[in-house]
């Protein structure tokens, strides 16, 4: 299989992206990696000879993290982010990875690959570490101001992802809200609740912000504003907690000694909540396998994201989503 990589996207691009690709090229010899970007810069980062399953595809220009998504993909059609997507659109790659501007990746995917028939809006599905594993949250920022039916589609897509790629039979699907009762939430959420009761999913009801971490559901569906908030607040709270712990650990000599002793145990805990272990998020609902990495992706995160991309391709995730939406009644599938 072939994966197109936007080698210039991300805070630590191209260095960490290339390093992650080199690790993946060695770990997955059956996978062809197409590094799209500034050819001289990328070549300089590669060993000589480069691995046989890794090739550089030249591109011109970079979409920055703060560029306006729609405008930038129009104005920079030869940028690494767009060129890599073009490889998927042309059938020259089976999957795509970028740690660049999320909005631009979403816009490029929607425009160049198109939506799966029946899907109103693509959604980004990511893993949130929780007690006893993780929960898939969709959407986490591709789509704000969602209609209730779009939230239901996020639930359908993420549920299929959970069963097919994460191998969870009958994933429990929850709806992010501000209380367990069906009556709690904003207008779209309350409507989505009603619709999810009839959607043929293993719907377990509303999931409160607090209950997310108790593994109240395997899949949490939500509007992109709420989902992004969930993700970022969790990240910020974890950072805050780590800061507080560090302060506590250095507050006295005894505490410093104790910190030395607990350090190895805390390392395992850090791994549990480290985004780079999860690597990337699927953009679900477009006609191609697209994985988006964290802007801060390091080499390990890139390698894990490429593993995830491989899994999505192997499990034929896009084809399964297409079949699922072809089977959905037109009423539920409409925008």
Q: Does 231 bind its own copies (CB under 8 A)?
A: yes
CB of 148 to its own copies, least distance (A): 13
d(CA 167, CA 100) in angstroms, rounded, equals: 28
CB of 182 to its own copies, least distance (A): 12
Strands 202-208 and 172-177: parallel
* Distance set, CA 290 to CA 96, 122, 280 (Å): 5, 11, 10
User: How many H-runs (helices) and E-runs (strands) does the chain carry?
Assistant: 13, 11
Q: Does 272 bind its own copies (CB under 8 A)?
A: yes
Six token digits for residue 130? 């929780």
Q: Does 237 bind its own copies (CB under 8 A)?
A: yes
Closest by CA position to 32, among listed 8, 4, 9, 58:
4
Per-residue contact string for residues 163-192; x = within reach of its own copies by CB under 8 A: -------------x-x--x-x-xxx-x---
Q: Does 145 bind its own copies (CB under 8 A)?
A: yes
Segment lying near its own copies (by CB under 8 A), choices 19-27, 111-119, 244-252, 312-320: 244-252
The DSSP secondary-structure symbol of 116 reads: P
Six token digits for residue 273? 């909540």
Task: Rule CB under 8 A: choose which of 62, 130, 165, 284 binds its own copies.
Answer: 130
Between 155 and 230, CB nearer to its own copies? 230
**Cβ-proximal residues to 231 (8 Å cutoff; 6+ apart), any chain:** 126, 128, 137, 140, 141
CB of 162 to its own copies, least distance (A): 20
Task: Rule CB under 8 A: choose which of 1, 213, 307, 320 binds its own copies.
Answer: 213
User: Residue 205: exposed, middle, or buried by beta-carbon count in 10 A (0-12, 13-18, 19+)?
Assistant: middle
Segment lying near its own copies (by CB under 8 A), choices 9-17, 108-116, 226-234, 325-333: 226-234
Task: Rule CB under 8 A: choose which of 29, 133, 200, 236 binds its own copies.
Answer: 236
d(CA 81, CA 37) in angstroms, rounded, equals: 8
User: Residue 320: exposed, middle, or buried by beta-carbon count in 10 A (0-12, 13-18, 19+)?
Assistant: middle
Between 27 and 269, CB nearer to its own copies? 269
Enumerate binding residues for its own copies (CB under 8 A).
Answer: 66, 68, 130-131, 141, 144-145, 176, 178, 181, 183, 185-187, 189, 208-214, 223-226, 228-241, 243-245, 247-249, 251-252, 254-255, 257-266, 268-269, 272-273
């Amino acid at each position: 299989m072939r994966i197109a990589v936007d080698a210039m996207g991300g805070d630590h691009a191209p260095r960490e992206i290339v390093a992650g690709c080199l690790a993946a090229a060695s770990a997955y010899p059956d996978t062809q990696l197409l590094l799209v970007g500034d050819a001289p810069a990328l070549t300089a980062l590669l060993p000589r000879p480069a691995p046989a399953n890794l090739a550089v595809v030249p591109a011109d220009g970079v979409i920055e993290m703060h560029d306006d998504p729609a405008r930038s993909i129009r104005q920079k059609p030869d940028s690494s982010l767009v060129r890599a997507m073009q490889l998927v659109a042309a059938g020259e790659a089976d999957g795509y990875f970028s740690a660049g501007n999320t909005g631009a990746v979403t816009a490029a995917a929607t425009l160049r690959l198109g939506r799966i028939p029946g899907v109103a809006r693509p959604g980004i599905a990511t893993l949130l570490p929780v007690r006893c594993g993780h929960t898939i949250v969709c959407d986490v920022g591709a789509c704000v101001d969602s209609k209730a039916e779009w939230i239901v589609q996020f639930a359908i897509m993420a549920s299929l992802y959970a069963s097919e790629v994460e191998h969870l039979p009958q994933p429990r699907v929850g709806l992010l809200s501000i209380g367990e009762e069906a009556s709690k939430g904003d207008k779209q959420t309350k409507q989505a609740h009603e619709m999810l009761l009839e959607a043929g999913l293993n719907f377990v009801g509303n999931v409160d912000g607090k209950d997310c971490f108790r593994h109240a559901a395997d899949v949490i569906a939500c509007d992109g504003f709420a989902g992004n908030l969930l993700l970022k607040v969790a990240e910020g709270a974890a950072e805050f907690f780590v800061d507080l712990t560090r302060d506590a650990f250095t507050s006295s000599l005894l505490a410093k000694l104790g910190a030395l002793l607990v350090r190895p145990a805390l390392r395992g805990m850090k791994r549990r909540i480290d985004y780079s272990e999860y690597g990337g998020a699927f953009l679900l609902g477009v006609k191609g396998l697209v994985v988006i990495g964290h802007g801060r992706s390091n080499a390990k995160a890139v390698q894990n994201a490429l593993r995830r991309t491989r899994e999505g391709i192997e499990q034929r995730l896009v084809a399964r989503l297409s079949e699922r939406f072809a089977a959905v009644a037109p009423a539920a599938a409409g925008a």
